[in-house]
Amino acid sequence: MVDNKIDDYYKHVEVKLEDIVDKLLNSRLNDSDNVLLNVQNLIEKVFIKSAMKLSANNVSKASKLLGINRNTLSKKIKEAESKKRLIQKKSSR
């Protein structure tokens, strides 16, 4: 029963994503707008944030939830924090 529910979740996500992708591609601002990369980065960010929340900020547990290596997750978190600090620094000028 759990497997069927997971399959349903994946199908639901696929349907929603198709709708979102259609809208994003139809509204592309210009040829330099890398829609796929932007969406990949956004999805990764959301998954990492949720996994960290579910694991009470335990990187080892979160990496298991995501199915990636702990060191890889740590690296991605550090990169995201660096980008966030850089954006905050630029906006405070």
Q: Which domain holds residue 88?
A: 35-93
What total number of domains does the chain contain? 2
Residue 89 shares a structural domain with residue 56: yes
**Is the pLDDT confidence value at 1 over 60?**
no
pTM recorded for the entire structure? 0.80
Q: State how far the alpha carbon of 32 is from the alpha carbons of 22, 39, 68, 87, 93, in Å.
A: 18, 14, 30, 21, 27
Residue 19 shares a structural domain with residue 58: no
Residue 29 shares a structural domain with residue 46: no
Residue 62 shares a structural domain with residue 50: yes
Greater model confidence, 36 or 60: 60
Residue 62 shares a structural domain with residue 89: yes
Say if residues 61 and 50 touch (Cβ distance below 8 Å): no
Structure confidence by residue, pLDDT tens digits, 39-88: 999 999 999 999 999 999 999 999 999 999 999 999 999 999 988 887 88
